[in-house]
Structure 1
Amino acid sequence: MSLAIESRCIHLENDDRAARYGAVSYPIYQTATFAHPALGQSTGFDYSRVQNPTRQQLEKTVAALEQGTDAVAFSTGMAAILAVMELFAPGDHLVTESDLYGGTPRLFRTICEPKGITFTAVNFSAGIEHAAKAVRPETKALFIETPTNPMMNVTDIRAAAELAHAHGALLIVDNTFLSPYLQNPLVLGADIVIHSGTKYLAGHNDTLAGFAVVKDAEISHRLREIAKTIGANLAPFDSWLVLRGIQTLAVRMDRAEQNAMELALWLQKQPQVTRVIYPGLPDHPGHELMKRQARGFGAMLTFEVRRKEDVPALLKAVRLIRFAESLGGTESLLTYPITQTHADVPPEVLAANGLTDRILRFSVGLENVQDLKDDLTQAFAATEG
């Protein structure tokens, strides 16, 4: 029986209820090790660093939602990226999007470059031809986010995959902002999909998780060897929390996106706001591309206020909306990238990407949209004092 993605989020992949006594909620196998029936025999599980039934169920579910062949669950999204970077060797080169979550280029700079891996950052949304100029004979992968964090630039995933494969390289796509409910990069030609499972997949700001999803068996084997060796695997209880979160992924994404669209239109009319960046707006440069390669526009938007001095007053004045560094949960969050998510990004890179000290990133949650407008209205009023 073929199920729509909304149903697949709830009825977990390969979910054998009979094997767990009809339990509706998948069990938490909170054990570090597993007993063997006899020498040379195994139940299929030996040690939870290698694999655990709860984590395995989660990995099957995420792989199926992304239409991949395998997903490896890690303790955080950054741990997933680090594991993927272990696929590369000294002398290898990667072309990366210039507007990435700040922790990602920090990892490239502080962990990967000392090992002899080099990177060239470009604006992929300026056109694949622009990105192609950065490809070298030693280029082994392209690494992108789409939409990007926080400037919401949109990259043509199919074109990026074609460019990578024409040079024998991989395409790695961070799909955190849209989740597998709205976008499936593997279907569009990507080789590896990254998720910070902390965000939309878990969805409640109560756990950390990361995923690397693949379609190639050889890459899967290498990633599992890396995960087993470095040991940054997702714990059973955290795996269960993400499984629980995925069951409401569809309804959460639908509601949050609906709120985001209404707020983007509303923010455009506010005198305290000079710019609103949201792919759902028809004037966004990536709007039509998003309609072709995704099933929605997501719930992340970025806006710019008139003055730098307005930022502290606004962040202090919000009441319903939280000033916090994360995204994708049920609660609406405002983040100030220049001092939070992108604090370690060099000023010249921030400037090149248009990330000013007046920019705020807005993770729109599930609250009543009028309540969100009312909160912003009173917060904007505080900037006039």
Structure 2
Amino acid sequence: MDDHRFETREVHSHERRDPFGALMPPIYANSTYEYASPTETKAGFRYSRDAVPTRTALEESFANFEGGEHASAFASGMAAIDAVFTATLSAGDHVVAAENLYAETHDLLTDVYADYGVEMTHVPVTDTEAIRDAMREETALVYFESPTNPVLNVGDIAAAADVAHDGDAALAIDNTFASPYLQRPLELGADVVVESLTKYQCGHSDAIAGAVATNDTEIAEDVEYVQYRRGGIPSPFDCFLVVRGMKTLSSRMDRHCENARRVVDALVANEHVTEVYYPGLESHENHDVAARQMDDYGAMIAFELEGDVDTVTEFAAGLDVITLAESLGGVESLVEVPATMTHQDLSSEALAAAGIPETLVRLSIGTEHHADLVADIEGAIAAAFE
């Protein structure tokens, strides 16, 4: 199936192992499996922390989507990110990371891994030369999201890969905001790609999981070691839900992206909106890079309103169709205020360094009718400024 187009591969991306011919991988709710002899398993599975047929199907699909030879699934996106850091870093190593990261990733690097003796330098992800200048002899990893959470900065993945490899470091990319339907970092030169499968790949806000893919056998073995020894694995039921969602990723993403364009147009035209962050806008700092490495610009939008945090709070609470909630990537549209929600644990200094003002709003645009979404947003803005 590797030579077929994405839309075909997403439907047939995993091997069918069920002896009864089930099209979807069944939920194998087992903790252990029968051996044929003390030295031979019956079908290649022995203990569910090691492997489960349902999870194997998920890992095969993720590797197929990302263009990787190896993939490992985890209990959450953060567990997958932690596995990347554990597999690639040791005490004394140095990381070059983007200034603008998901808050929990930021904390994982600056708190947990700093205690392990790992040093880091934060740089603007849009500036490849800043990445180069930050490289040291001890640099083992360059890590960033593209687009970033929440202000949608775009890094040049191919250029960053060249810089990382010149310094004998690995490049790992969090591809959650784009999904492999819109962007495939491994094809652009990245060594590792990580995603929260909770988001677009699942697509229905009903499962939590993460995954890592790579073409580097050594990194893959280290990630698999972390997966088995630390045991941060997804349940068979969550794997089943994610695989189900992955089969409709392309059709959902097409609708997501079309809706996002309509919403962006409305926001740009609104007199109370002072800034719109969206890679599809020609005014976006790295629009040319996004146009080159993405097949479309995604469905995440950030914007700033006039006024203060009270104005933003009133706007977010005044929406009807769009739900006030954290997370993203589901069929339902969501709104959140990063400074007080997803990034609330960051200090005011860290928020400022990440370019997250208190009046920033983040939208995850779903698959509802675009006219209803636009009307909801325009109505809530109007009410907030009455």
- Using structure 2 for the length normalisation, give the TM-score: 0.97
Q: Which deviates the most, 103-112 or 64-73? A: 103-112
For 1:117, give the aligned amino acid.
V
Alignment check: 8 A CA contact 1:273 1:305 kept: yes
* Alpha-carbon distance in 2 for matches of 1:252, 1:154: 22
Match of 1:130 in 2: 130
Match of 1:325 in 2: 326
SS of equivalent residue, structure 1 residue 367? coil
Alignment check: 8 A CA contact 1:150 1:337 kept: yes
Match of 2:52 in 1: 52
The alpha-carbon deviation at position 109 of structure 1 amounts to 2.1
Match of 2:98 in 1: 97
Alignment check: 8 A CA contact 1:172 1:193 kept: yes
- Counterpart mapping for 1:174-253 below 5 A: 174-253=174-253
* Alpha-carbon distance in 1 for matches of 2:362, 2:119: 29
- Counterpart mapping for 1:104-119 below 5 A: 104-119=105-120
Match of 1:266 in 2: 266
The alpha-carbon deviation at position 204 of structure 1 amounts to 0.6
The alpha-carbon deviation at position 352 of structure 1 amounts to 2.9
SS of equivalent residue, structure 2 residue 342? coil
The alpha-carbon deviation at position 299 of structure 1 amounts to 0.5
Q: Which segments of 5 or more consecutive residues in structure 2 lack a partner in the other structure?
A: none
> 2:93 matched to 1:82?
no
The alpha-carbon deviation at position 301 of structure 1 amounts to 0.8
Alignment check: 8 A CA contact 1:261 1:281 kept: no
Match of 1:11 in 2: 12
* Alpha-carbon distance in 2 for matches of 1:184, 1:354: 26
- Counterpart mapping for 1:161-180 below 5 A: 161-180=161-180
* Alpha-carbon distance in 1 for matches of 2:81, 2:353: 24
For 2:39, give the aligned amino acid.
G
SS of equivalent residue, structure 1 residue 182? coil
* Alpha-carbon distance in 2 for matches of 1:40, 1:272: 69
* Alpha-carbon distance in 1 for matches of 2:251, 2:311: 34
The alpha-carbon deviation at position 144 of structure 1 amounts to 0.7
For 2:278, give the aligned amino acid.
Y
4+ runs of 1 displaced by more than 3 Å? none
> 2:384 matched to 1:379?
no
- Counterpart mapping for 1:229-378 below 5 A: 229-308=229-308, 309-378=310-379
Match of 2:20 in 1: 21
* Alpha-carbon distance in 1 for matches of 2:184, 2:385: 43
SS of equivalent residue, structure 1 residue 140? strand
For 2:26, give the aligned amino acid.
P
SS of equivalent residue, structure 2 residue 188? coil
SS of equivalent residue, structure 1 residue 59? helix
Alignment check: 8 A CA contact 2:16 2:22 kept: no
Q: Which deviates the most, 166-175 or 344-353? A: 344-353
1:332-367 Cα deviation digits (max 9, x unpaired): 000110011111223223223321011001100000
